[in-house]
């Protein structure tokens, strides 16, 4: 067992100094003969004890190995005995209270108790051998009682010191754990920040594609149409320019609505946005109809926005890639889920000349990510066999209470 670091290192030097001062003072005022050699030996023993404490503190601080502690205790015991023999005042007997005190600190409570009992037994044995009938002499009985009281006080101080050391060690352990936890939390926070940045980057990419991308695509299509019909059909060309102007204005409006939503402005209305979208998308070559059932009240803005972006993507794909002439949009608000269905009579995803396989484009992938974050589902059916009209059907459902509100 390793020695505990001393929580009260000042006690031994103070006691040594007090004993030295008391012994010298007793020699100075005593009426009996003064033996210079005894006084010198007495003082030298106490100086050696002081040097031993200094060596221990410098060489084996903050804790002392068990073998070294045992050796130092034995050396102290020898020096205590020598000083007691050379001391004519008897005050040096107080030094022996340090034996159980030091043993308690170094080896624990049991060792301190054993040493304390041993010191009392040693004192009683000395009295018995050299002081006849000492038990009837008040001064010796008083000395024994005071010595026992000193041992008790020393043991109590040692117990308090040990508990203090243990509490300090536990506190240091807790602080080390806190530092480790802080380091891990900092690492986790960095990872969360990186993931949040990636999520935000993906969200912005989806917003740009689904909103600005959709309207810019519509502007490009309408301008191409205006250019193609400028001489052949001036009214159709003028209408295409008007539709392109509306798409550009709608893109600006959606940007403003997104900013307003962040500022808690007027809530987004899916029904109104779908009606506006369908009304301006239809023309003499494309018929777009909208059917709405139920009430969108109770659905959060994230879910409604996800359905609107899905409608934009599906309408763009049907018109541009599927070359549809008729598109039916149905929005149904139920008690627990809202459903959007976009069905067209075009060429579908896999058969359209400019389309990629179903669900592989960035827009479809972004649509799935957006809806799945809310706990919803996207289903795309572009096999024309079950439907005489052919084309594709995109069905999107979202729950009334999204799983991760605010994640899109």
Least confident of 32-46, 199-213, 334-348: 199-213
Are 223 and 241 a contacting pair, CB within 8 Å? yes
Q: How confident is the model at residue 389 (pLDDT cuts 50, 70, 90)?
A: low
> With 50 as the cut, is the pLDDT of residue 74 above it?
yes
CA distance linking residue 390 with residue 41, whole number of Å: 118
Closest by CA to 11, choosing from 141, 100, 83, is: 100
Residue 90 is given by DSSP the state S
Q: What is the pLDDT of residue 357?
A: 45
CATH topology of domain 268-408: Heat Shock Protein 90 (3.30.565)
Q: Look at residue 117 in the predicted model and tell me its pLDDT.
A: 87
Summarize the confidence of residues 16-29 as an average pLDDT.
83
Residues whose CB is less than 8 angstroms from the CB of residue 38 and which lie 6 or more positions away in sequence, other chains included: 86, 88
Query: Is the confidence at residue 103, as pLDDT, over 90?
Result: no
Give dist(CA 344, CA 127) in Å, integer.
116
pLDDT at residue 230, rounded to an integer: 80
Per-residue confidence (pLDDT) for residue 385, from 0 to 100: 47
Q: How confident is the model at residue 145 (pLDDT cuts 50, 70, 90)?
A: confident
Given a cut of 80, whether residue 387 has pLDDT beyond it is no
What is the average per-residue pLDDT within 127-137?
87
The predicted pLDDT at position 207 comes to: 66
pLDDT at site 53: 83
pLDDT tops 50 at residue 386? no
> Between 48 and 205, where is the model more confident?
48
Average pLDDT over residues 13-26: 84
Segments of the chain assigned to CATH 3.30.565.10: 268-408
pLDDT band at 109; cut points 50, 70, 90: confident
Mean pLDDT of 200-220: 70
Task: Please report the pLDDT score of residue 290 as a whole number.
Answer: 93
Looking at per-residue pLDDT, the higher value among 330 and 136 belongs to: 330
Predicted confidence (pLDDT) per residue in 356-378, tens digit: 444 456 678 878 888 998 899 99
**Average pLDDT rounded to a whole number, residues 192-197:** 75
Question: What was the pLDDT predicted at 26?
Answer: 80
- Mean pLDDT taken over the chain: 79
CA dist 86 and 214 (Å) reads 106
Q: Which of 285, 282, 272 is nearest to 243 (CA)?
A: 282
pLDDT at 406: 44
Structure token pair of residue 74 = 């034995």
> To which residue do tokens 């972006």 refer?
309
Tens digit of each residue's pLDDT (9 = 90 or more) over 290-346: 999 999 988 988 889 899 989 988 888 887 777 788 999 999 999 999 999 999 988
pLDDT of residue 355: 47
Q: Tell me if the bond preceding 229 is cis, omega within 30° of 0.
A: no
| pLDDT band at residue 289 under the 50/70/90 scheme | very high
Per-residue b or e along 93-104, where b marks 16 or more CB atoms closer than 10 Å to that residue's CB: bbbbbbbbbbbb
Cβ contacts of 224 within 8 Å, gap of 6 or more:
none
pLDDT of residue 358: 46
Stretch 269-280: mean pLDDT: 86
Calpha distance 232→241 (Å, rounded): 15
Stretch 17-24: mean pLDDT, rounded? 85
**Nearest of 378, 382, 400, 398 to residue 390 by alpha carbon:** 382
How would you list the strands of the sheet with 377-381, edge to edge?
A: 287-293, 326-333, 337-344, 393-399, 377-381
Q: Is the dihedral of CA 105, 111, 112, 118 positive or negative?
A: negative
407: pLDDT strictly greater than 70:
no
Percent of the chain with pLDDT over 70: 83
Task: For 203, list phi and psi in degrees, rounded to 5.
Answer: -65, -45
Quick one: DSSP state of residue 332?
E
**Predicted pLDDT at 292:** 94
Asked if residues 326 and 315 have their Cβ atoms less than 8 Å apart, the reply is no
């Amino acid at each position: 067992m390793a020695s505990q670091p001393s929580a009260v290192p000042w006690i031994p030097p103070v006691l040594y100094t007090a004993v030295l001062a008391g012994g010298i003072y007793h020699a100075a005022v005593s009426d009996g003969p003064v033996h210079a050699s005894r006084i010198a030996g007495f003082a030298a023993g106490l100086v050696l004890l002081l040097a031993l404490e200094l060596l221990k503190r410098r060489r084996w601080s903050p804790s002392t190995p068990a073998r070294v502690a045992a050796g130092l205790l034995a050396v102290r015991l020898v020096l205590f005995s020598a000083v007691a023999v050379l001391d004519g005042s008897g005050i040096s007997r107080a030094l022996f209270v340090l034996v159980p005190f030091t043993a308690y600190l170094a080896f624990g409570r049991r060792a301190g108790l054993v040493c304390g009992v041993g010191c009392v037994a040693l004192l009683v044995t000395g009295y018995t051998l050299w002081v006849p009938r000492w038990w009837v002499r008040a001064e010796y009985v008083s000395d024994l009682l005071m010595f026992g009281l000193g041992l008790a006080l020393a043991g109590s101080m040692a117990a308090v010191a040990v508990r203090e050391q243990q509490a300090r060690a536990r506190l240091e352990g807790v602080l080390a754990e806190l530092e480790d936890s802080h380091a891990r939390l900092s690492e986790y926070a960095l990872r969360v920040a990186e993931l949040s940045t990636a999520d935000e980057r993906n969200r912005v990419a989806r917003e740009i594609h689904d909103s600005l991308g959709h309207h810019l695509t519509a502007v490009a299509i309408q301008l191409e149409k205006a250019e193609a019909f400028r001489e052949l059909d001036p009214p159709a060309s003028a209408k295409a320019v008007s539709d392109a102007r509306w798409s550009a204005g709608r893109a600006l409006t959606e940007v403003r609505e997104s900013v307003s939503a962040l500022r808690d402005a007027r809530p987004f209305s899916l029904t109104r946005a779908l009606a506006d979208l369908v009304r301006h998308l239809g023309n003499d070559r494309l018929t777009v109809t909208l059917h709405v059932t139920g009430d969108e009240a109770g659905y959060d803005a994230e879910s409604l926005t996800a359905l609107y972006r899905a409608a934009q993507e599906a309408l763009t794909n049907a018109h541009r890639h599927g070359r549809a002439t008729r598109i039916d949009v149905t929005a149904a608000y139920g008690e627990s889920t809202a459903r959007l269905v976009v069905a067209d009579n075009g060429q579908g995803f896999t058969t359209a000349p400019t389309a990629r396989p179903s669900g592989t484009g960035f827009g479809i992938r972004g649509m799935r990510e957006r809806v799945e974050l809310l706990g919803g589902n996207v289903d795309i059916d572009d096999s024309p066999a079950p439907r005489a009209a052919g084309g594709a059907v995109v069905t999107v459902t979202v729950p009334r209470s999204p799983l991760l509100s605010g994640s899109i």
